[in-house]
Structure 1
């Protein structure tokens, strides 16, 4: 699968390494060295993937993700960061990045993450037989990549959408965090369970009448989460 990829990396040597590996797999690559240039390239060239360093001049990667997600939810973003604290990593996901890798990283693992993100994006754009998923007033359209609650449109990041679509396809099923991590990336062993918690917290803010007292996205203590139809009188659950 050949794709147009923008690499925004402040370190010229690191950018060249990423470019070589991507081109070896047949992708067309544009390299930029700062955040403002990354925004300009994305806006003018509609890439299939953005590989984004956090630490960059003019505008850092977190600012770039924040701006891009205000403009579009569709572009997959793989974030690269030397920041190793969990809060820093989760902040990128909270802002709308689809995946992240901490430096130093294996180029082979980077290419595996790229392939995973591109496959998922490609499948979401293909015509499919997937029917619209309905759980009470929540509607998830896998073909149009749209979500609504009570008729009102909800903006979801790609990661949030994948979790919600998986759960809406099997309402009342209890998903473990590991199962939801596999829905996100297929590389759950590399990332924290808190990744799922952040996505669920954000989805509750967008879909629940009272996020701290959820009636739709419920916690099943000691196991994970499930999606239920609140109109059927399901019990409330903790937001923790």
Structure 2
């Protein structure tokens, strides 16, 4: 879909975000179909909602005996630049997700590239898997030097002890497996209590209005909402 067609297409945004503190609800463009993502970004920007983009690195499906490699399956990396070009003042947050079966060497390369793309797009934050938080040392350093924050994701069942708060500026608590569309497990919010006081937190994954309210009341800095915030069936809400 062309940029013009996307922007002309009014995408519905649920109104509940306006009842929460400004800037605390981020809208996930991965939650909508690929052809609608630029339109969703336009709608989020018009509503004053920061944009969250999931860059998912997965094992590529290859014919025959080709050596395994990784590829992007989530938001197209080039979309970050398109959004920035169209909306210079938009707040952008990038979450780099790496599937467990993605070839590690190739995945590390794509992580470095993703961090560099986030920096080029002026993203304010990039969240990395704990296993890859140092994979892009130079890229991560440059991202921080540009003023961005580097956070670490905490997946369901993840070991909180593996996350060194001093190595990242915050922790993104996932209520579902990253990159899936499962139902959220609100009990995972309890993991926030296992970190030192004043640790910055975000909450992502199947976030509803109710979960958003609870997470923010417990001290989360921001929440990421997708399906409950963006959708063709949300007209009038």
Larger helix share, 1 or 2 = 1
Higher RCO (C-alpha under 8 Å, 6+ residues apart): 2
Q: Give the greater-gyration-radius structure (CA).
A: 1
